[in-house]
C-alpha cells in the first residue's frame, strides 16, 4: 500500500459565525464547532485513505477562547498518524481579527477515524510519513494518545499500555 505524506492529508475550511450558530451569550455554540471539526477531520482522513471513514473517538477538545458572533473561523485538519485501520487527526481552529486580519489559535481537537468497508468493518489504511517538526512531534505522541483513548473506552487493559508505562514509570 502506497505511503502518504502528512501534507497530502491537509484539509482547510472557513466559516463565518451566524446568529443560528451562537449560544445565549452570542458566542459560537460548542456543539456547532464540534460538528465543523468532525466534518473537516473526516475530509482529512478520507484524503489519507480514500475510503469511507467513521468517527471512532474525539479526544483533547479544548475550548480555550469564546468565538464571537460574526467571527471568521478557519479550521485546519491533518492526519498526524495512521495505524492499522485507524487514523489520528488534529484539528486546529483559528479566529481572524476583523480589522487586522491577524489569526489567533483558539481551539484544538484530536479525532480518531477508522476506515471501513461496505459492511462497516475496519480495513487497512496507508502508512503516514511526517515531514515537518510539528508533524513529527504529533506523530510521536499519537500511539500514547491512542492507548489512553482505548483505556478510557474500556478497550485496552492499562497493563498493555506500553507507551503510557514508559511515560509514567520510565
Ligand X SMILES: CC(C)(COP(=O)(O)OP(=O)(O)OC[C@H]1O[C@@H](n2cnc3c(N)ncnc32)[C@H](O)[C@@H]1OP(=O)(O)O)[C@@H](O)C(=O)NCCC(=O)NCCS
Under the binding rule (CB under 6 A), the answer on residue 41 touching ligand X is no
Contacts (CB under 6 A) with ligand X, residues 132-161: 146, 149-150, 153, 155
35 touches ligand X by CB under 6 A: no
Task: Report the residue from 69, 83, 143, 163 that binds ligand X according to the rule CB under 6 A.
Answer: 83
Residues 42-61 that bind ligand X (CB under 6 A): 54-57
What minimum distance in Å lies between the beta carbon of 157 and ligand X? 13
Q: On the CB side of 137, how many CA atoms lie within 13 Å of its CA? A: 4
Of the candidate spans 11-19, 26-34, 39-47, 84-92, the one that interacts with ligand X by CB under 6 A turns out to be 84-92
Residue 49 DSSP SS3: helix
What residues numbered 85-114 form the site for ligand X, per CB under 6 A? 85-86, 112, 114
C-alpha cell at position 128? 503516514
Of residues 57, 46, 58, 59, the one with CA closest to residue 116 = 46
Q: Which is nearer to ligand X, 17 or 87 (CB)?
A: 87
For residue 51, what is the DSSP state?
S
Count of C-beta atoms within a 10 Å radius of residue 26: 12
- Give the C-alpha distances (Å, rounded to integers) separating 66 from 71, 80, 159: 10, 26, 39
Based on the shown chain and the rule CB under 6 A, indicate whether residue 80 belongs to the binding site for ligand X: no
96 closest CA partner among 68, 118, 74: 74
The residues that touch ligand X, with contacts defined as CB under 6 A, are: 54-57, 83-86, 112, 114, 116, 120, 122, 146, 149-150, 153, 155
Amino acid at each position: 500500500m502506497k505511503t502518504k505524506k502528512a501534507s497530502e492529508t491537509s484539509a482547510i475550511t472557513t466559516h463565518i459565525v451566524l446568529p443560528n450558530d451562537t449560544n445565549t451569550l452570542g458566542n459560537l455554540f460548542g456543539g456547532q464547532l464540534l460538528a465543523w471539526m468532525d466534518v473537516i477531520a473526516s475530509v482529512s482522513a478520507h484524503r489519507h485513505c480514500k475510503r469511507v471513514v467513521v468517527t471512532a473517538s474525539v479526544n483533547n477538545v479544548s475550548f480555550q477562547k469564546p468565538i464571537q458572533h460574526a467571527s471568521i473561523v478557519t479550521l485546519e485538519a491533518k492526519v498526524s498518524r495512521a495505524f492499522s485501520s485507524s487514523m489520528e487527526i488534529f484539528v486546529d481552529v483559528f479566529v481572524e481579527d476583523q480589522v487586522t486580519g491577524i489569526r489567533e489559535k483558539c481551539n484544538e481537537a484530536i479525532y480518531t477515524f477508522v476506515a471501513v468497508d461496505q459492511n462497516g468493518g475496519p480495513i487497512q489504511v496507508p502508512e503516514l510519513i511526517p515531514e515537518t517538526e510539528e508533524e513529527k512531534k504529533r506523530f510521536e505522541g499519537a500511539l500514547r494518545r491512542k492507548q489512553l483513548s482505548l483505556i478510557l473506552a474500556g478497550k485496552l487493559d492499562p497493563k498493555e499500555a506500553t507507551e503510557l508505562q514508559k511515560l509514567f514509570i520510565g
